[in-house]
Amino acid sequence: MAAPPIVGTPRPRVAGVDALRALLAISVMVYHLSCWSTERLWPIAPWLEVAGIYAVDGFFVISGFSLWLAYAGRNLAGIDELGRYSWRRFARIFPLYALALAASVAIDAAGGQATPARDILLNLTGAFAACPHKAIPTGGWSIGVELSCYLVLPLVIIGLRSWTAHLLLLAGAIVLAAATTAGFLDPSRPLPFSWKPYTAISNHFALFAAGILLAKVRSSFNVDGRVAWALGSAGLVALLVMSPFAGNQITMSTGWRRPAFCLATVIAIAGVALATLPSGRDKHLRQLGDLSFSLYLLHPICWKLTVMLTGSRGGGSMLVAMGTTLLASAACFRWLERPCMELPPPWRRKGTGSPAGGSSLPMAASGAGAPDPGAQPSGSPQGREQG
């Protein structure tokens, strides 16, 4: 039996973006598993490395795009609407993140490694948004960046009305990212040594701002489908051509490669975000997008459990981990994420007004997460193994 529809107003979602979100999550999963297993998939390693690292940038662009479409017309200056916005963001992020946090801590404890109580508290309260490198679940740092973006979004919607203001926001964010990369990332040492500044919101907010600008373009103009797909194809080709010259994780995250890969990523996503798919193809694409958050947060847990049970890190374990991740993601969305998003805010549950639950948000508007470098520890350059 199909799951009941979520009540409330229709959600402004773009089916192609939902599919792209799922594709990015799968790219991160394959990248991580290839790093952690003995099967490194060498023939496609350069492209897989770039896909794993820069999929996160795609998540931030998609998040800005989806959230602006959903909330640009809302009065977020009002206490009631701002409260509902905050509840929807909480209901979308916290339940699954709490599950991933509990599983990560439990698996580490089973392996003889205790997690500091302070770090657990930072993650449970969301305070790790101020220090994303302290995230405990693998890739959870990007959720910390997302939380910071959620705080900024109402100010952007309330305060920025004109195109000039939006362009200035993007320009300022680009300058901030460039300053972070040039001033705090050391290109002569592996990425884990620059993990704290790399995961800072200052290094990624420009991507969220670019997504907002794409949403404003889609809302204001009718972009010809052929132009949109040509744009997306150009971005994809640029990524494919540049990937063999990307180098390692730190070189592709600094110097001229950083802005080049970010720009190509935004252009590729723009092609999908501005295009309109024929009607009738939305349902399955949206279902794919719904699973993206679970796919990202759960695949490291499924990998660790697979290795614990089989004692193997070979290709077979990688396939088992992929399969269990897909099943676990579908189960989590149906029985955890979706029910939580259906809940109205606690302060309105006893009222008689219209439902005010998480129904009108884009269900997969959150960034699905991002890859931690290679097989480095979860949330920090030293300590426990990520996988």
Closest CA to 195 of 348, 370, 23: 370
Distances (CA, A) of 236 to 28, 233, 247, 301: 17, 5, 18, 30
Packing angle of the helix pair 257-274, 225-242 (nearest 10 deg): 150
* 254-265: pLDDT as tens digits: 999 999 999 999
pLDDT for 276? 78
DSSP-derived 3-state class of residue 321: helix
pTM: 0.88
Contacts with 323 (C-beta within 8 Å, 6 or more apart), sequence order: none
The domain segmentation of the chain, as residue ranges, is 15-360
Closest CA to 380 of 145, 138, 93, 105: 138
**Average pLDDT over the chain, rounded to an integer:** 86
Confidence of residue 286 (pLDDT cuts 50, 70, 90): confident
* 327-381: pLDDT as tens digits: 999 999 999 999 999 999 988 766 544 444 434 444 445 555 444 444 343 333 3
Distances (CA, A) of 135 to 127, 350, 369: 10, 35, 11
